[in-house]
Structure 1
Amino acid sequence: MNGRHKWDGTISERDFLEACRTFPQRWSEADPSNPPWMWVSHPVVSGFAQEIGYLALENVCHQKSIENLLLTGLDGCSSDEDPGIDGATLVKNPDSRTHLYDYHILYSFSYNVPMLYFRGYQYDGQQLQLEEIMADFSLSSSIGSLTESTWTFITTEDHPFLHRPWHMLHPCATRDWMSLLFSDSSPLLDCRQTVIQKHYLPSWLSVVGQVVGLKIPLGLHAHVNIPSLTMKDL
């Protein structure tokens, strides 16, 4: 990982685990009002590193859903959150009309990059259809473009650990745009552990989060000169 344009954008399984150890604390420190990410550990099996599992952000309500509930006089989600903060917020006293979301970050052994699984559901547990989820996210792109784009290909498949259908942002192009993201940050690339422990997951999530309505605190990138990418850039 030395020099400019030499990193292919992937990380090893052990690097992923190391990044997952530091990310939840940095997320909370950047904005304590945000719901926390938690590491969910699973029993180790032959062929894996010291541990396997995933990062989970669960039982959260998207900002747009909060605004809609406030406009209609519902109090299913907390109205105490700062309206200037984008992203997910903790749900307080949800009712049957509240849309909740779970986000899981897993490691792809096929592509050697993180991958994001997500699902939306009503308070009674009824799963939301992809069209309903995208309506909550208020994305300007059509459902078709989001499910077919090289960069934001959405598929539905069984969660590797939970063995139930979840939506997933396919990781097939992740290595390419992660390499692009860090291509102008050669000083950081000279310090591999800095990239892995502090910058890889926040930078990755800042891009994929745009697709699923999840934005990260700006404090995660404080004092770091990493260019940002948007869906338009990709």
Structure 2
Amino acid sequence: MSDEKLGNTNCCLDQKTFYLCCQLFLHHSSVLGDGWSWREIKGVEGYMKKTVLVPGRLGSLLSQHGQHKTEEYIDIVTEEDQVDNVDGGTCSVCESQAVVHYEYHVLYSCSYQAPVLYFRASSMDGRSLSFEEVWNNVHPNYRQRLLQGPWDTLTQQEHPLLGQPFFMLHPCRTEEFIRPILQMAHSEKRRVNYILAWLSVVGPVVGLDIPLSYSTAVTAPD
């Protein structure tokens, strides 16, 4: 991708290039059959979408009188995790190994002129994960980056196209990590698909991995 398409000073991404990059990304996804699709809203705006099931951790407070186990969850409780209940009983802070359903959306932000990763996560019974549970499923290596920057912007807000609550990685720091990638590619006279480069960095933070074949198969728009 040329400097003109990215912006000479701030690596901005225009909306037309966003759509072109997504189309190229989706083309390779259709070859792999790995589940990415394009969802259009009223024929005007749209976003890339993917849903996955991955092993995860669910945290909850289980009363010593009401605690139970199922085949779906493996409960892990330690003495340090026990806390007093408001009714005088004892509860256990329980971390359950379970299957988590993730739904990822890649949207374009006109305000930041950058892509944004929205996502929501739920247990297999349809319960939405809390912010604490989502944070608990972020890999420890990425938690440190989120705390120290630029990964300090894991937030929850309304999906701009669906009007529903989603988690998101805020795009305010996108330039900090995307600029070195684009500069290196430019110095090596390589063209880069912005969406692929960006998603390869932000995706793993929230459990979304991009197969290596994308790096060789997905091209940049002209």
Fold match (TM-score > 0.5): yes
1:153 CA displacement: 1.2
Q: Is the 8 A contact 1:9 1:174 kept in 2?
A: no
1:184-195 maps to which residues of 2 (within 5 A)? 184-186=184-186, 194-195=191-192
Instruction: Name 1:40's counterpart in structure 2.
Output: 39
- State the number of aligned residues: 180
SS at match of 2:183: coil
Q: Is the 8 A contact 1:111 1:171 kept in 2?
A: yes
Cα distance change, pair 126–2 in 1 and its aligned pair in 2 (3 A): closer
1:139 CA displacement: 2.4
Root mean square deviation of aligned Cα: 3.2
User: What percent of counterpart residues are identical?
Assistant: 31
Q: Which amino acid aligns with 1:220?
A: Y
Q: Identify which of 6, 17, 22 aligns with 2:19.
A: 17
Alpha-carbon distance in 2 for matches of 1:65, 1:128: 11
List structure 1 runs of 4+ shifted beyond 4 angstroms: 72-76
1:182 CA displacement: 1.3
Alpha-carbon distance in 2 for matches of 1:8, 1:116: 19
Tell me if 1:212 matches 2:213.
no
Instruction: Name 1:106's counterpart in structure 2.
Output: 107
Instruction: Name 1:80's counterpart in structure 2.
Output: none
Tell me if 1:160 matches 2:160.
yes
Alpha-carbon distance in 1 for matches of 2:114, 2:171: 7
- Ranges in structure 2 where 5+ consecutive residues have no aligned partner: 58-68, 74-97
Alpha-carbon distance in 2 for matches of 1:139, 1:37: 27
1:193-224 deviations in whole A, cap 9, x for unaligned?
x53xxx21111011001210111010111289
Alpha-carbon distance in 2 for matches of 1:210, 1:141: 9
Alpha-carbon distance in 2 for matches of 1:25, 1:114: 18
Instruction: Name 1:86's counterpart in structure 2.
Output: none
Instruction: Name 1:173's counterpart in structure 2.
Output: 173
Q: Is the 8 A contact 2:139 2:205 kept in 1?
A: no
More strand by share: 2
Alpha-carbon distance in 1 for matches of 2:40, 2:217: 31
Instruction: Name 1:56's counterpart in structure 2.
Output: 49
Cα distance change, pair 161–136 in 1 and its aligned pair in 2 (3 A): same
Alpha-carbon distance in 2 for matches of 1:12, 1:218: 26
Alpha-carbon distance in 1 for matches of 2:110, 2:206: 23
* Larger RCO, structures 1/2 (Cα 8 Å, 6+ apart): 1
Q: Is the 8 A contact 1:154 1:168 kept in 2?
A: yes
Instruction: Name 1:227's counterpart in structure 2.
Output: none
Q: Is the 8 A contact 1:147 1:154 kept in 2?
A: no
Cα distance change, pair 38–74 in 1 and its aligned pair in 2 (3 A): farther
1:150 CA displacement: 3.0
Alpha-carbon distance in 2 for matches of 1:209, 1:168: 11
SS at match of 1:125: coil
1:174 CA displacement: 0.7
